[in-house]
Amino acid sequence: MKQKILTKEIYMQAIGDSFKKMNPKTLIKNPVIFITGLGALITTFTLVAHGFNWFEFQISIWLWFTVLFANFSEAIAEGKGKAQAESLRKSRTHAVARLLKNKVETKINATELRKGDLVVCEANDIIPADGEIIEGLASVDESAITGESAPVVRESGGDRSAVTGGTRVLSDRIVVKISVDPGEGFLDRMISLVEGASRQKTPNEIALSLLLTALTLVFLAAVVTLKFFADYAGESVSIPVLVSLLICLIPTTIGGLLSAIGISGMDRLIQKNVIALSGRAVEAAGDIDILLLDKTGTITYGNRMASELIAAPNIGEKEMYRLSYLASMSDDTPEGKSIIEFAKNKYSELESLSLAPDREFVAFTAQTRMSGINMNGGKTQIRKGAVDAIEKFVVSLGGQMPEAIVRASENIARAGGTPLVVCENEHVFGVVYLKDVVKNGIRERFAELRRMGIKTIMITGDNPLTAASIAAEAGVDDFMAQATPEMKLKRIREEQEKGHLVAMTGDGTNDAPALAQADVGVAMNTGTQAAREAGNMIDLDSNPTKLIEIVETGKQILMTRGSLTTFSIANDVAKYFAIIPALFAGLYAVHHNDGPLSILNVMKLGTPESAILSAVIFNALVIVALIPLALRGVAYRSVGARALLQRNILIYGVGGLITPFIGIKLIDMLISAF
């Protein structure tokens, strides 16, 4: 999925597509640019009807360029999507399927498979179509879809049973039940979705288009009336000049970039390995104000980790660390490894204990619920395990559990942690505090979301006490403890009834109802087919924290659109001061500045003709200049709506006001010089 953003081929294709988009049926989808195209056509007809005029010829040419540049901005955004789609097409392999029917295998072409068919896949086989594993377990190479080279495990009966057509089985044997008909697979949907041309306009985009259309009609009416005012004042105003005024005053800048902004938004998600099943979902992500996040893997690391080693009374801290290290050497669980790391970070010399001779490892078992090591021919028995298991072990050797360790273990349990007691023979040396470790930086991320007006809700199956402890440490606004699928669905509906837009992640079949109900439902690619079909986004990396990035991308799209709209409308002020004085040049002495309208000639442009032409040229070139910003998006900032509005007005409003004055003046100087 990772590729160079823009290539020579994309540029050349976009240039060709710019001319193809001159078709009136295509142009009319963008009313602002359609009006610009009509204006260019009118000036061209006027030029032909009244004879060649160099000034009017230049106006006509630059109006056509304005339309082409607007088409180019959309075409280049679409070109990126088409390039990605072509890359996916090349990755698609037409596999031979081993159809299983009545326990008999038959080889057929993968295109002949239908929903409900069973196929067998073994090592080095290409999975012929999307489906669910109903038998077996296998290691699968999904690099053709996700771009990640590391294989993943897929197995029947769990939340990681979904497989994608075109991926390769690396080991073992699985039986897959096909879940789609030909042409309806995940890869087919990805190809159609990443092609920008198939993108549907979002509600906000439609609303903005209507606003731009209304502004265009208002300016059209104003320009038409100017013709009558000019005639009444005895001023001769040509049709090309009136058309120039109209095109410069209507919001052509944002009109030409609007589609590119929307298409590039989906493209930016694809760069993050997220497939949005609709443009509506991308935009909804920008309006989200409630985030539902799973605790495990999103807010905390997946496994409980050592956070404190508490020594028993009269036991030295270093001795407690040494015994905890030794007792965990045979423990290959994430918890055991975390104790090793925690102890080494405190006392680095403990690493030399790994070389100790005369040792016998005691592995953890479900029956004993403890692990450890025997040394000195079995005379020294070091153990680490559950409180009751260690107590039983110590008592059997004639010892007893210290009251301080019992109290410490109870306190850890009440705080939502897991206590593990460490002993040497009949002597108890201390307790290990295992807890869910909140990811580094997650509290700051939630603080950023809060500043944006987004409320975060943690979902967990833990008891309320544990959930409250983790929620407080992570800095989330609310939490749901012992959450069931019904509780998740109910909570989403309640928030939506209050007018909120809700986003959540999920990967299991039990998450499907909530994913379908959420305004933005991000399904993990490793999840079940039901989850992937219920969500309106699919994260190919299956990283639950990606939801935060998705929201930021949606916000960035809205920020980009708002910023460029502000810039476009502010442009009109400068263009007004360039063209209106030139339009009524006959009503005041331009060179002597003694006419009644001379106060409007603040830019002191060379001649009426150069003023009008400069404004038209600037109007065309500014679209090209802003294409990179539309594709890349404005810099994301986690600020509230009020601060964002102030920033837009300060940077893009004031900038949009000043830039045309400078640009038009420079173009006028060049025109006057030549």
| 267 is annotated as contributing to ligand binding | no
Annotated catalytic sites, by residue? 294
Rounded Cα–Cα distance for residues 496 and 609 (Å): 57
Q: Which of 226, 223, 212, 240 has its CA nearest to residue 41?
A: 240
| 335 is annotated as contributing to ligand binding | yes
Q: Beta-carbon neighbour count of residue 152 at 10 Å?
A: 18
In SS3 terms, 284-344 reads as HHHHCCEEEEECECCCEEEEEEEEEEEECCCCCHHHHHHHHHHHHCCCCCHHHHHHHHHHH
With contact defined as beta carbons under 8 Å apart, do 536 and 623 qualify? no
| 507 is annotated as contributing to ligand binding | yes
Rounded Cα–Cα distance for residues 493 and 636 (Å): 30
Phi (first) and psi of residue 553, to 5 degrees: -65, -45
| 384 is annotated as contributing to ligand binding | yes
Q: Which of 31, 24, 13, 132 has its CA nearest to residue 75?
A: 13
Strand-strand pairing, 168-169 and 131-141: antiparallel
Rounded Cα–Cα distance for residues 542 and 154 (Å): 13
Alpha helix positions (H), 498-607: 512-517, 529-534, 546-583
DSSP letter string over 361-410? EE---TTT-EEEEEETTTTEEEEEE-HHHHHHHHHHTT----HHHHHHHH
| 369 is annotated as contributing to ligand binding | yes
Which amino acid makes up residue 252? T
| 494 is annotated as contributing to ligand binding | no
Q: Which of 552, 449, 457 has its CA nearest to residue 504?
A: 457
Category of 427 on φ-ψ map: left (φ > 0), alpha (ψ -120 to 50) or beta: beta
Torsion of CA 522, 524, 525, 528, to 10 degrees: -110
Alpha helix positions (H), 398-484: 403-414, 442-451, 464-474
| 493 is annotated as contributing to ligand binding | no
Inter-helix orientation angle 546-583/239-249, to 10°: 150
| 318 is annotated as contributing to ligand binding | no
Q: Which two tokens stand for residue 47?
A: 């030029």
Q: What is the b/e burial string over 503-514, where b = at least 16 CB atoms within 10 angstroms of the residue's CB?
A: bbbbbbbbbbbb
Binding site, by residue number, is 331, 335, 364-371, 384, 507, 511
Binding site for Mg(2+), by residue number, is 507, 511
Binding site for ATP, by residue number, is 331, 335, 364-371, 384
